[in-house]
Amino acid sequence: MADDPRGRSVPSGRLSRFGLFGRMAGGVAGGMLAEGARRLASGDRPKMTDLLLTPGNVTRVADQLAHLRGAAMKLGQMISMDAGDMLPAELTQILARLRDNAHHMPPPQLDKVLREEWGTDWRRRFKFFQAHPIAAASIGQVHRAELPDGRVLAIKVQYPGVAESIDADVDNVATLLRISGLLPRELDVAPLLSEAKRQLHEEADYRRELDMLERYRMLVGEDPAYVVPQADPEFSTGRVLAMDFVPGERIEALEGRSQEERDAAASALVTLVLRELFAWGVMQTDPNFANYRWQANEELPSAGRLVLLDFGAARLTKPETRAGYHQLLLAGLSGNRDEVRAAAVDAGFLGAAAVERHGPAVDAMIDVIIGELNRPGAFDFGDRAFVSVIRDEAMTVAEDRLTWHLPPVDTLFVQRKVSGTALLCARLKARVDIRKMIEAYRNVDPTGCADASI
């Protein structure tokens, strides 16, 4: 998805965004008809999902979502990341483009937004303001700027119309999934859609994100493993968030580094998730790779520091959710299949129908997970041999739509962070002693977190 250096205007009006959704649906339908005709001519009888999930259609949808930005692109990112190893490799590769840079606003549109937020003479307040963004994502883009006193800031500017389009975008994406047949009508997704809208509205509120940024700085404290930028309230508004510019390299750049350095980064990632769940009671639930940077230490690779960015998706986790994860992890460490199955149902990960109708497949997945978790020494995220076994059993269950089940919404957002973190650790081929890290929380009360007052 090549980014036009001149930028690409964000469609901010309701009609213009609806029109793009219409063209996207029309393009997908045309692709399905063409693919269907081709397969019928060759004697095949393709299923609807075979016609929908072609590389051409996925590319078409990914490009349009990247153009729309906002909630539409964010949902595409979530689907691509949450699917993890469950999507076919070629589709995962295409959808992963939504985790890369989006198209950015052209300079005139950017200037209009900043005039509305800072006034017409905003440029005089800076010694330098880099017009081309250093990053562009689903809800906003980030610029590097220098103040007259020499301080360097990272300034996140929200795309126009994004906040106002959230509800309609979520409904339109859900409609596309319904029409495609990927989302069965029997599944009640209304609570999930409502919560998705709520969180996206929170992510679009940069004043709230500023508060969360400062809260995370307090929670991380002086821990040398992490860096959290300091907010700059003077330049921050509801649609602009300013903070200190923190140097660092893309977390994926560690792929070619030493095992020691990759392990250090993964250890910081996993430690953060466990603290969020069992010590703080608040979690940044968007594990997009772009939300992390790495500050290397050339003299001591294991002493590198993880830079934490983007706190729009930070949210309070419910006590019952934290307790459910705690029970499930301890059951896994015990190696007792029955305890794990019961904990998974209690926490809402598994529906009772799946256990009743596909008990052997469920037990097979549990046995694999218990075996991997209880291997002596460090867990090797780079060894993905067990994933195919779980995927094969999971697909057997997933094909039975009578067992489809939505976990509690809070659990879905927490699991998004857990799954995304595991995906990043796998990308780094890291080795981490997860069992030892979980054991450190064996005797804590997960419902009584230090930051539960949020």
What are the φ/ψ torsions at residue 272 (nearest 5 degrees)?
-60, -45
Q: Are 174 and 347 within 8 A, CB to CB?
A: no
In this structure, the chain runs to a length of 454
User: Which residue type occupies 181?
Assistant: G
Mean pLDDT of 315-336: 94
**At which residue do the structure tokens 């990308």 appear?**
427
Q: For position 74, what pLDDT does the model report?
A: 53
Summarize pLDDT for 143-190 with one digit per residue, the tens: 999 999 999 999 999 988 888 878 877 777 677 666 555 555 666 667
Q: For position 32, what pLDDT does the model report?
A: 38
- Indicate the Cα dihedral angle 323, 326, 329, 335, nearest 10°: -90
Mean pLDDT of 134-151: 90
Residue 263 C-beta-side C-alpha neighbours within 13 Å: 13
Pick the residue with more confidence: 28 or 365? 365
For residue 14, pLDDT over 80 is answered with no
Q: Are 425 and 362 within 8 A, CB to CB?
A: no
User: Which residue type occupies 288?
Assistant: N
For residue 69, pLDDT over 90 is answered with no
Least confident of 50-59, 105-114, 177-186: 50-59
Examine the residue annotation and report whether 286 is marked as an active-site residue of this protein. yes
Summarize pLDDT for 249-305 with one digit per residue, the tens: 999 999 999 999 999 999 999 999 999 999 999 999 988 888 999 999 988 888 899
Q: Are 407 and 318 within 8 A, CB to CB?
A: no
| Chain centroid offset of residue 280 CA | 20
Least confident of 130-139, 242-251, 281-290, 414-423: 130-139
The domain limits of the chain are 14-103+163-200, 247-454
Q: For position 181, what pLDDT does the model report?
A: 54
Mean pLDDT of the chain: 79
Confidence at 224, pLDDT banded by 50, 70, 90: very high
Q: Are 278 and 322 within 8 A, CB to CB?
A: yes
DSSP structure string for 68-104: H-HHHHHHHHHHHHHTGGGS-HHHHHHHGGGGSPPP-
Q: For position 124, what pLDDT does the model report?
A: 96
Q: What is the DSSP letter of 407?
A: P
| CA angle (445 as vertex; 407, 317 as ends), nearest 5 | 40
- The catalytic position among 286, 346, 392, 433 is 286
